[in-house]
Amino acid sequence: MKTLKNWEFIHQENNRIDIQCDYSWKLHIFVLEQDIFRVAFSQDNHFRVPQTWAITPNQADIAWQGRDRWSLANFSLPAYSVSEEDNQIIIASEQLRVIVHQPLWLEWQYNNNGTWTTFVADRKTGAYLFGISNAQISHFLQRDVADQYYGLGEKAGNLNRHGRRFEMRNLDAMGYNAETTDPLYKHIPFYITHTDNVSYGLYYDNLASCWFRLGSEIDNYHTYYRSYQAEDGDLDYYMILGPKILDVTKKYTALTGGTIFGPKWSLGYSGSTMHYTDAPDAQEQLKKFVDLCEQHAIPCDSFQLSSGYTSIGNKRYVFNWNYDKVPQPKEMSAYFHRAGMKLAANIKPCLLHDHPKYHEVAQAGLFIQDSESNKPEISVFWDDEGSHLDFTNPNTIDWWKTNVKQQLLEYGIDSTWNDNNEFEVWDNNAKCHYFGNGLPIKLIRPLQPLLMMKASYEAQLEYAPHLRPYLISRSGSPGMNRYVQTWSGDNRTNWNTLRYNIKMGLGMSLSGLYNLGHDVGGFSGNKPDPELFVRWVQNGVMHPRFTIHSWNDDKTVNEPWMYPEVTPIIREAIKLRYRLMPYLYNLLWKAYHEHEPMLRPTFLDHEWDSNTFKENDDYLLGQDLLVASVVEPGQTTREVYLPDNQHGWYDFYTHKWFAGKQTVTVATPLEKIPLFIKAGSILPLSKTQLKNTLHDNQRELLIMPLLDKGHTTVTLFDDDGVSFDYLKDNYFSLNLNMQCTDNTIELTINKSGNFIPEYNEITLTLPFGEKRELIINGIPGNKINISDIKSS
């Protein structure tokens, strides 16, 4: 490794500044936004990977071949200044500036009310290291012991990453320890630094395996530092100024294309287990699930077919129906559809060597190729060996899309579950087609699952262009948020997983993966006992993705009715989710439309309250609902810290008001998960006991007013839940302004959009014991007809 020290300013071109460094390396600084700069190194004006698939501002999808790394398209490209003085170059927008020092290290400053204030700097004793005999790259920054680090996507352990070391290398980590196991399934090289004064993000746009050392390492010859190291690829990173943590998350999410707006049914309960499709009578087992939901009055919107439906013997063969297990796939799909349930089918990107289509695919050259021959690479996969499809080959993409349509969608399958897509190809130099240019897989491994889900997304969209696609993917990289809902992989069944999956999910959410959940009940290990199962379901119903899924070592199945003694509690927890469905759907809209995270650490909306940064088990679902899951056995009471806010919190069940910035002790009988609503909130709820999201003919607004004088505004979104018609103004948006006085709670309501919902009346509910008069658009009452609401 060689340290870059000497540099010389070359020139500036548009919003790019070029600086010549040692060993023919060039440093490029791009001024993209007032608060986002990019730093990239090229050698002789060439990047190791000439394209990016992550960066797509303004929520546009990206071309199959990626975006040219030199492109500045869709950035605002603000005015900026460049000055040279005392062996320094100073590059500044109105909000952000960077000073290039000699020898080479960068110092970053933000405009602090007219004063440029340093918030981070590279390590002065060697900031940028590049391999000479190998392709390794490293970036070292100074570290303060008070810094707090968040993000990095799907990572085990505490939410604050300070003091730890992490690796990005996609692995199928079945049965992982949610507190300690690393690496896991996803490649998200982005993290947020929070200081007392400002927060900022660093995103390294590199798909090679890499390591983050965030205080796990000290060296006597250097001050405290942290580092990013990659085994290959480009040193190309984005500095994203907050100033708040929430600002950083939203800007990064927008930078990588935003969040897919899936159908409403994707937020419903989704059943799943490997047991059903592994059974010799899989079709009957699957249909029985529909009947049991009806029998036990469990609301459900979909079911996920595990890969057993593709089996030959004990192995799995993608796009191969086992007609002995599932003799009538179309009839089975219709059975689910008649019950109002959709189907998602598991698909895998590797064909075992004895797959019925293996030779056909190999002959067409659709596999990743071995590094030493022109034959398909061979990797261990599902207790055998097989070859991975190469999604950088346009012919592979076409083959995949054709099979998704012909083997799944035409059989009545509604969605693709893109699974086992870590691409564990251990031959680092295995050859990818790379759209005709060729590239070893070690440079683009996480790109393969990203393009796999893009291929599945396009197949679904082409098959049913009027429907918003819903997809699931386990592995992926930045940009996967544009296509899929995701989850935390094959977790282990125990209390510790329940606790640390919460933190893992919050870390994913801070990293732009808003639409997420976990395998409720635990996937691997023995079945959960009744108490653990209840607590896991209660937590799961408060996540964007709610799926009970299992492959229990003891051959049991996690199902809502698995323990008759607690089935009523499970039923009520799931019904609570459906009561909250309008609120959840509004959160999904805000995630898509405003880049707002759905799951939020309590500090995200209360940075001024230092207590919220203490490691805890609580979180916010949206900005208004505080969830305090029970994550310890035998707990009959629980302490909950209510974050400091101006107006306090209401207990969800009793409507008792509490001031913020205090710890309260609440009862936690087995049938209850503690929930609190922020004062000033208006929660849209379903009044009826829904069977699924197709049944939505009543609406309630739960109003939690301010105790003192003041006002709040709320916007609530609704539409048909499945189509793109909202883009043609066929949506229903309620705009509410609430004014609280000593004697009245006055609501001014207007609407926008042309969609007419199934419900024609809205009931407005105040807290128990509220004495003030409710006035709606100047008229006392607690109901309003949709037709009486004026358009804005």
Alpha-carbon dihedral sign for residues 431, 437, 442, 447: negative
The answer to whether the CB of 658 falls within 8 A of the CB of 664 is: yes
Q: Residue 662 corresponds to which amino acid?
A: Q
CA dist 283 and 531 (Å) reads 31
CA dist 487 and 490 (Å) reads 9
SS3 631: coil
**435 lies in the same domain as 296:** yes
* For residue 382, pLDDT beyond 90: no
Asked, for residue 19, whether it belongs to a domain, the answer is yes
CA dist 453 and 695 (Å) reads 30
CA dist 438 and 444 (Å) reads 11
Q: State residue 350's pLDDT score.
A: 98
11-29 per-position pLDDT tens digit: 999 999 999 999 999 999 9
**39 lies in the same domain as 164:** yes
545-592 per-position pLDDT tens digit: 999 999 988 889 999 999 999 999 999 999 999 999 999 999 999 999
Q: State residue 325's pLDDT score.
A: 97
Look up the CATH number of the domain holding residue 765.
2.60.40.1180
* For residue 500, pLDDT beyond 80: yes
**672 lies in the same domain as 782:** no
Look up the CATH number of the domain holding residue 92.
2.60.40.1760
What percent of the chain lies above the pLDDT cut of 90? 96
**DSSP assignment, residue 22?**
G
Asked, for residue 390, whether it belongs to a domain, the answer is yes
* For residue 148, pLDDT beyond 80: yes
CA dist 252 and 285 (Å) reads 44
Asked, for residue 488, whether it belongs to a domain, the answer is no
**660 lies in the same domain as 710:** no
**102 lies in the same domain as 145:** yes
**Number of domains the chain contains:** 4
Asked, for residue 588, whether it belongs to a domain, the answer is no
**CA–CA distances in Å: residue 314 to residues 15, 189, 300, 352, 760:** 57, 37, 30, 12, 53
**701 lies in the same domain as 624:** no
Mean pLDDT throughout 328-354? Answer: 98
Asked, for residue 144, whether it belongs to a domain, the answer is yes
SS3 357: coil
> Around Cβ 174, how many Cβ atoms within 10 Å?
12
- Among residues 139, 246, 261, the alpha carbon closest in space to that of 198 is found at 246
* For residue 181, pLDDT beyond 70: yes
* For residue 426, pLDDT beyond 70: yes
Among 646, 678, 710, the domain-final residue is 678
Which residue(s) pair with 732 in the sheet? Answer: 718
The answer to whether the CB of 446 falls within 8 A of the CB of 170 is: yes
Mean pLDDT throughout 211-221? Answer: 97
Among 678, 706, 736, the domain-final residue is 678
Asked, for residue 313, whether it belongs to a domain, the answer is yes
Query: Nearest 5°: CA angle at 366, between 360 and 369?
Result: 115
CA dist 641 and 643 (Å) reads 6
Asked, for residue 513, whether it belongs to a domain, the answer is no
27-77 per-position pLDDT tens digit: 999 999 999 999 999 998 999 999 999 999 976 799 999 999 999 999 999
CA dist 57 and 74 (Å) reads 6
191-215 per-position pLDDT tens digit: 999 999 999 999 999 999 999 999 9
Poorest-pLDDT segment among 54-68, 175-189, 762-776: 54-68
- Among residues 296, 241, 308, 242, the alpha carbon closest in space to that of 272 is found at 308
Asked, for residue 131, whether it belongs to a domain, the answer is yes
- Among residues 617, 674, 607, 615, the alpha carbon closest in space to that of 645 is found at 607
Look up the CATH number of the domain holding residue 347.
3.20.20.80
**399 lies in the same domain as 338:** yes
Q: State residue 132's pLDDT score.
A: 82
CA dist 765 and 697 (Å) reads 17
What percent of the chain lies above the pLDDT cut of 70? 100
From edge to edge, which strands make up the β-sheet containing 88-92?
Answer: 81-85, 88-92, 96-101, 105-112, 115-121
Among 418, 448, 483, the domain-final residue is 483
Mean pLDDT throughout 496-500? Answer: 98
Average model confidence (pLDDT) for the chain? 97
Q: State residue 636's pLDDT score.
A: 96
The whole domain housing 78 covers 2-50+74-255
**249 lies in the same domain as 358:** no
**282 lies in the same domain as 226:** no
**DSSP assignment, residue 432?**
E
**307 lies in the same domain as 409:** yes
User: Which runs of consecutive H residues, i.e. helices, occur in 679-758?
Assistant: none
**341 lies in the same domain as 443:** yes
91-146 per-position pLDDT tens digit: 999 999 999 999 999 999 999 999 999 999 999 999 999 998 789 999 999 999 99
CA dist 390 and 394 (Å) reads 9
Q: State residue 59's pLDDT score.
A: 67
**DSSP assignment, residue 741?**
-
**173 lies in the same domain as 226:** yes
> Around Cβ 607, how many Cβ atoms within 10 Å?
17
